Structure formats: C-alpha cells, structure tokens
A and B are shown apart, each in its own frame.
Chain A
Amino acid sequence: MNAKGTVFRYGDNIDTDVIIPARYLNTQNAQELASHCMEDIDKTFVQRVKPGDIMVGGENFGCGSSREHAPLAIKASGISCVIAKSFARIFYRNAINIGLPILECPAASEAIREGDVVSVDFDTGVITDETTGRQFEAAPFPPFIQKIIQAGGLMASLKEKA
C-alpha cells in the first residue's frame, strides 16, 4: 500500500479541538466533520486539500480529547497519511482502529516542508520527499498492531477472532 500527495505541515501539540472543534461534535457524519477540519488554525485547509494529500505534524500530534471524530475528519477530508514526530496516545489508537495510516518519524517531521510532494510506502515504512529527494524510515508497527491494520481495523479484527 502506498500514498502520495502534497504536504500540509503543522507544528507541535496539534490538539483535537483544532482538528475538529467541539461545536461540531453534534454530528457523527464524517463528511460533515471533514468540512470543518483544522478550521480554527487553517481556514483554507478544507478548500485546498485534495484526495491523497499528506499531513505532517510535530510532537504530540492529536493531543487532548478522545474524540474519534478527529481522525475521522482528517481521513474524510482526503488525507491519506499523517506523519509526526510523536502522537498523543489516544489519537494513535483511534487512527489505527479506524484505518487512518499514521507514521512516527522525527526526521521526516523536521525535514519535510509545507507544499512538498511526499510518497509513503506503508509496507517498508519508507517516506520519500520527492521535492527534495530525501528519504526517511519510519518505525514499523509491532506485529500485533499490523494484524489490526491488515484486518481493516479493530472491529473487523475482533470479528475475525470470533
């Protein structure tokens, strides 16, 4: 599985309140959530994002609330993958559980710039910044988590076991 797209770059401690403000949590509709994704820190994100694009964050990406609406909104906006220096732990679980690919890679998080075209090979964890030609390697998921991802998310993996 691969992804390729243009990068939207944000800083450290991107919290779930800016990913999807609570004033929109009266819906579970992913497309409706996506129409407000990131609006409190980047009003133009939803207009500019194209299917396949990639989000890059710094430390502690997705901190704050447990709202699964946050990864759901990012996924439904068309983002194919989030790369960050580190992820807040509930966001990390949620992304895996709903099938939003995420990669922890400090070097890529620091080097990749806004607007770069980046490709990702999920099988090898290799991240290529095609604009600069630089390559990075993300830490692979433990086998336990790979199984959840391969099954298509947590609920599907639970059904497989049942």
Chain B
Amino acid sequence: MGMTMTQKILAAHCGEASVKAGQLINADLDVVLGNDITTPVAINEFEKAGFTSVYDNKKINIVLDHFVPNKDIKSAQQSKRCRDFADKYNILNFFDVGRMGIEHALLPEQGIVTAGDCIIGADSHTCTYGAVGAFSTGVGSTDMAAGMASGKAWFKVPAAIKVELKGRLHPPVAGKDVILHLIGEIGVSGALYKSLEFVGEGVRSLTMEDRLCICNMAIEAGAKNGIFPVDETCEAYLKARSQRPWKAYAADPDAEYERTVVIDLDALEPTVSYPHLPENTHPARDGKNIKIDQVVIGSCTNGRIEDMEAAYNILKGKKIAKGVRGIIIPATMAVYRECIVRGYTTAFVDAGCIVSTPTCGPCLGGYMGILAEGERCVSTTNRNFVGRMGHVDSEVYLASPATAAASALTGYITDPRDV
C-alpha cells in the first residue's frame, strides 16, 4: 500500500522501505528544538540521567523567545540556565536577545529547517515546519532531552486526513482564515494523533506565510503534524535560505487517508474563533457588536513580514479606536528590522499602536499585554482557552492580521473588507 508524505519521511528516517499507520518506530532527528520555558526542564532531565555530551551540537536549537527580554527574576534564571547549557555544549544555534525571534518564525526564516527533515521541538507549535515539506511535531521536555542525547525519538506512525484546497485564496482572506475554518469544521480533536496533509489546486495560491500559519495551528485540531507538498513556491523559498540540501517527498497515488475534507478557498470568508476554543468559529462580519479592548498582532502564527504588511495596509494613515490598545510584535529581528525599513513601524506608531521586539509575551499570558477581568482581545495568536491571555474572565478572539487591524480601527470585531 502507498504511503502519505508524512509516512515517507518517517520511513526514510528509521531505515525502513515502508511504514504503516500505527507502527511504532525510532526515528533519526535532523533538528531538535527547545525554548526558554521547555529547555530548562529538558536540561534537568538530561543532567539527572547523567548524560555528559550531546549527539550533535549543530542539530540542537535553543531559542529564548517566550519571556525575553526577561520579564522577571525567575524567567531570567531560566534563560541563564539555557545560556550556560548552550555554552557548555557549544550549541551553535543558540538564539539570545538581539539574535532571537519567535522560534517557529525564526527557524524557517534562517533556513535551519528544510524539506524532508524529521524534526522535534519542545513546543507544541513545532508542527509549523510542515509548510516547508518536513515532518515536524511538538513534544515535551523529556523527549527533547532524549533527542539531545541520542538524536532519536520514538513515534507512532500517524494515519492521515487529506485536506483538499479548491479554488484560490482572495486577499484579505488569508492562511489564518483557512486554518480557523478547518478547525471549525473538524473540531479541536478532529485530527487527534493524525497528519493533516494539504493538497489540491488551491495550494498554488498560498504564500509560504499562509502555509506556515496553517501548519502552525494543525495542533489546534489535535494533529501530530501538518504538511504541504514541496511545489515551486516552496522551492523558491528554500533556495533563498536552506542551509542544507533538501529532499521533496510526494504522497503515493494510492496513499491511504482516513477522510478527505474539502475547502473551497473562493468561498472562504474572514473568520474569527470566539472564546474559549479555536473550533468556535464565526464569520468576522457576525462580530460587529462585540466591543474589544485590545488587539495583538504577532506570534509564531502571524508575526511574519507578510502579516505586518497586511496590518500596515489597513492601519496606514489611520488611527485605532479610542479605548483600544494596539500591540504589534514582529516575530523575528529580521521582520522587526524590515518593518522599520519599509516604514511600517512609523505607520503603526502614528496609528496609536506600540511595536515590541520579538516575544511570545501576551500569546500565552506571559507579559506585554495581559488582560484584566472582563476584557476582550482580538489576537492573531493561536489559542483562546480560559485565562490564556490573562484573567480567567477575559476573552480572546482569534483572527488574521487583516481582521485584527480592521477591528483595532473600529473597536469592534470587523471584517477587513468593510474598512
């Protein structure tokens, strides 16, 4: 029987000619990743088990991004622990303040992850790298520790859901609307333990930023990974940055999929996920009576240059509504710099927003935009669980950068086509 894209990559990384869904394998890893929250726990496990060397100092990536520049003494201690470990083991891809970016924006941008890779990261949004044709999945800190020590991880080979994209995307409808719509269709456990494989003629109309955003939120449907085929758009992206040769895998014509979900991109509307689950999706237009207090544009989901451009196109020359706090966070230093060069930063500040250096900050309720009781935020981040961005009685509405920017202008949830 044929294999899916995901199964082919896994087979190639465990020395088997073929693998099938449900099979347990031990796979070789091309990239192991951790951040300032998960790496300290991994270091504890690594040291507790008595390991004194890493399997390959070039393949381990430690990115300080969640609470940096450090928000308090405890998070400073955690960053220091990562820094000391990176020094001790000569971890080449260690990204500290000044070089860092939000991990899942940084690694593709720097060409550290590439097509055909097998990747684990101690962060649930590690599934982002499926956009470049890699098998990439989130794990915990102990898996990261084991990966740093051995270069391997165990996996149960996943079954797959085929997501067939028809038609083409019409801006300002974006990748975020595609993935929110999909999660609304299949639910937050709709792809539990499975791969989401995106195929179809509609793939062509998606930019790499759209694809990265879509794969980023595969976890929000419970998926093990999301993955796109390597097409011309992807190859052009990799040619400009991949640090290593890559290999494109295509699904076999007779690959088995548990189900197929069809999305008509021509009919897709700006979509918003209401509290407190990403599956609670509504058309942005239906939210026009929902008054908001804050807008956040950034994160590993939507902090890339194209996301900044979408926000700029709506905010330039305008003022955000009185009573709305606009927080814009370019996801990497390169994006941050590019926003300055292109004049976006000036336009954002003139519109009444603040622009922060890269951080996960408010997305997970860390800092840089915590909500008070009863407050509402339209956010381009990935989760709207109870208490996610602050007080347990605050609310997060997930949306695209265009929808978030349009909502900042009116003070209510707003379809970007209406401003």
Contact = CB atoms under 8 A, between A and B. Distances in A.
Interface string B229-253: 0000000000000000000000000
Interface string B212-225: 00000001001010
Contacts of A21: 365, 387
A68 B192 contact: no
A28 B41 contact: yes
B143 A64 contact: no
Contacts of A65: 123-124, 364, 383
A67 interface: yes
Interface in B162-218: 188-189, 192-193
A27 interface: yes
Interface residues of B, number: 51
A158 B365 CA distance: 35
A25 B78 CA distance: 10
Interface of A: 13, 15, 17-18, 21-23, 25-28, 40-41, 59-60, 63-69, 71-72, 86, 88-90, 93-94, 97-98, 142, 144-145, 153-156, 158-159
Nearest to B73: A26
A26 B383 contact: no
Given A18-B385, A89-B224, A155 B192 contact: no
Given A17-B364, A89-B222, A93-B143, A63 B38 contact: no
Contacts of B126: 66
A26 B80 CA distance: 12
Nearest to A22: B364
Interface string B122-164: 1110100000000000111111011001100010000000000
B140 A97 contact: yes
Nearest to A21: B387
A69 B140 CA distance: 9
A154 B37 contact: no
B222 A158 contact: no
